[in-house]
Amino acid sequence: MTSVAARPSPETIEGPPRTRLESLTGLRWFAAFGVFFSHVAILLPLPYLNELFVLGTAGVTFFFVLSGYVLTWTFFDRDTAPKFYWRRFARIWPSLLITTVAAVALLVGGQLWPTEGGTSLVWWTVATLLMVQAWFPASFQGDTVPHTVSWSLSCEAFFYAVFPFVVRPIVRRTLRQMVLIAAVLIAISIGTRVWLWLANPQLTAENWFSSDLYYFATHSPISRVSEFVLGIVIAAAVRRGWRSPIGLRTATAITVGYFALLWAWSWSGVWQTALAETANRGSIVVFALLIAAAATNDLAGRRSLLSSRPLVALGQWSYAFYLIHFLVLFPIAKHAFGRQSLYDFPQPTWAHLPYALAGLVVSVLLSWGLYRLYEYPIEKRLRALLRREPKAATPAPGAEPSM
């Protein structure tokens, strides 16, 4: 973002770009893969690798930035908020519904941890289906609920609510203004976590997860919206004509190097929870570079491994994989090793490896089935209810963010 444009041309706003950014779909799989391994680190930890796997929580940050980017990339000025909201509902709610039902069935059937059930379970289910659970930590924390990953959809619902009102002002900014906005958003995202550490030195590894401040900083839609808006700004700049000066290979190397550095840092004995949270927030910069580089690569017509058919397919299944994998991993850990609680942290052992691999295979197969037989067909039917929807607003499978 080094040049300045006075005003966007009409076509910049009126119609969405038609280039399919397949590399971004491929990247979605790696983000979901990271989240999977972050839960392996909790339920089936492995020696030496666990500190690396914990860093997979940053996959949610990637999804939030990507969501803002792709929604802006497919944005067109004549769209209306009700139509936009319906398309987002069609995209994410059906799979949330079926996996929520599955989670409740597993919990009631004793395949997850013991719970008091009753009113608390009803409240959790209602909050989840209304996608408001991230506003009420009690509705998704502790051993009351099994579907722990669904909190991020509550954040996405809030992002979708504000998107029609923030995207137009942003796409009309000059490139220089976009640079300033991006810098402010990054400062807010990282600064929130730094403030939390400095203002609350009493937080320790033992009480961090029981702290309301932790849930605000990690799960609150308010604390995470800066990541989503950063994606909007990057996409607006690319639509304006800016292209990343960093190639995809370089951006990939920066991302890998960043997490390798954090992994090496993990052996220094620094507080592990702080390390994971630093990765979650600090990764916003490297993810922004990676997304911009991948988009630039696709716009230049260059192929990459990320745009290969296998990775694009996995990227299309990534939303289903994200929702399913914990519901697969916990029953495996429960029956194989007697895990009874989300907070029952076992010692790392290589005996967990075959079970973690089995969980991966089962999760991928189930996500393929959910996407092919339910998620995509239902989305098509729901979208068809929008009469006279502009053709350009209907993306190919996998072209829109699923989170």
Provide DSSP, 252-319: HHHHHHHHHHHHHHHTTT--HHHHHHHHHHHHHHHHHHHHHHHHHHHHTT---GGGSHHHHHHHHHHH
Q: How far is CA 383 from CA 161, 179, 379, in A?
A: 18, 35, 6
Biggest alpha carbon–alpha carbon distance for the chain: 63
Q: Is residue 389 over pLDDT 70? A: no
Segments forming the whole domain that contains residue 93 = 10-393
Q: How far is CA 128 from CA 147, 199, 299, 316, 329, in A?
A: 9, 31, 38, 23, 20
Confidence at 277, pLDDT banded by 50, 70, 90: low
Mean pLDDT of 138-144: 58
Sign of the dihedral through C-alpha 49, 50, 53, 54: negative
CA dist 42 and 46 (Å) reads 10
Closest C-alpha to 85, from 25, 19, 21, 131: 131
Would residue 101 count as lying in a domain? yes
Would residue 118 count as lying in a domain? yes
- pLDDT of 6: 36
Would residue 315 count as lying in a domain? yes
Q: How far is CA 329 from CA 42, 209, 324, 334, 385, in A?
A: 10, 21, 9, 9, 37
- pLDDT of 349: 94
207 Cβ contact list (under 8 Å, min separation 6): none
The mean-pLDDT minimum among 98-102, 276-280, 287-291, 371-375 falls in: 276-280
Q: Quick one: how far is CA 216 from the chain centroid? A: 17
Confidence at 124, pLDDT banded by 50, 70, 90: confident
Would residue 403 count as lying in a domain? no
Torsions phi, psi for 245 (to 5 deg): -75, -10
Sign of the dihedral through C-alpha 323, 324, 329, 330: positive
202-227 burial: b if 16+ Cβ within 10 Å, else e = ebeeeebeebeebbebbbbbebbbbb
- pLDDT of 18: 56
Decide: helix, strand or coil at residue 66: helix
Would residue 3 count as lying in a domain? no
Tell me the one-letter amino acid at 151: W
Q: Is residue 269 over pLDDT 70? A: no
Domain count, the chain: 1
46: its two tokens: 């492995």
Q: Is residue 376 over pLDDT 70? A: yes
Decide: helix, strand or coil at residue 385: coil
Tell me the one-letter amino acid at 193: R
Closest C-alpha to 266, from 255, 252, 251, 279: 279
120 or 226, higher pLDDT: 226
367 Cβ contact list (under 8 Å, min separation 6): 317, 318, 320, 321, 324, 325
Mean pLDDT of 296-312: 94
- pLDDT of 112: 79
Q: What is the pLDDT of residues 4-20, one digit of tens each?
A: 333 444 444 554 455 78
Would residue 334 count as lying in a domain? yes
Q: Is residue 40 over pLDDT 90? A: yes
Would residue 1 count as lying in a domain? no
Q: For a pLDDT cut of 70, what percent of the chain falls above it?
A: 81
Mean pLDDT of 373-396: 75
82 Cβ contact list (under 8 Å, min separation 6): none
**Element (H or E) spanning 115, and its range?**
none
